[in-house]
Structure 1
Amino acid sequence: MHTTVITLAAPGISGMQIFGALTLSGLALGSAIALLAGLRGSKKIKIDSKDKAAWWGITTGTLWEAAGGTWADLAEGISSVPQGVFGAGSTFGNPGLGGTALALTLVAFAFEWKRLVVPALFGIAASVVYGEAGGIWGIGVHMVRMIAAKVTGGA
């Protein structure tokens, strides 16, 4: 996989950098750290509801997929378990990728979870399926990937 590294500089200020060299892997790392910190009770990053946990999971999983490599492997590994339960070849028949995306989204958002890590993991799993399912599911994933590519210069 080819990774392009660019420097984001403040306009009009020669030699000054806002973020320095930033790649999609850098955004994936930052998102992973923020998700972990928020789930562990950080006072700076508040993930204090199942909805926030699920959204952080979806965003983190999307960035991991966009970054590729080991990050994508992590997201796909997390996604493989619930996809095995809800996806093609499961005991529930073949709901299709759209049906699997719907099931994962409902599990992440519809139930009351005592531990916020559960909706976060289902959010990561759902983000992988969103990208595969396409259609309306892929719109949000595509938008996050486009924004991340603009921030990183397509890295």
Structure 2
Amino acid sequence: MSAPSGRLSRQAATFVAVGGAGWLLDVAVFNLLTATVLSSDVEGGPIVAKAISTTLAIIANWIGNRTFTFRETRRTDVVREAVEFVLVSLAGGAIAIGCLAVSHYVLGFTSRLADNIAANVVGLALGAAFRFVVYRSWVFSPRRASAEPVRSVVERAP
């Protein structure tokens, strides 16, 4: 396997693992909120619950992707990287929220199962594909001038 395809494979596998952990957090918080304070009986409850759960998952995923998935190309300008990561994540999250809104309000599928399928299966799958491509090509792109080079253990030693 060539180095670029090896890196892509490792990044994709790690992205899936980090995203899986974020997905579990997202689904758990979404279901906790919709089972309690933000049920379907509350005006906009499922949408607000999804916005909250998505926000928490974005934070966890940035830490995981910066630390593991894109560690070779993470940026030295952490604030700019975080802002770009959040923007891309919000766009990906909007895909999940859009799928939920269409399913819940347009198609009339209002059960908790339907909300979960729309938001946490279809929406998150489409959003994840979008995010991986944009994280890799923009946020953590090795072509970015402020990418932090990987240093060996010997180079890091004092």
Report the structure, 1 or 2, having the larger helix content: 2
In the superposition, the TM-score normalised over structure 1's length comes to 0.33
Report the structure, 1 or 2, having the larger strand content: 1
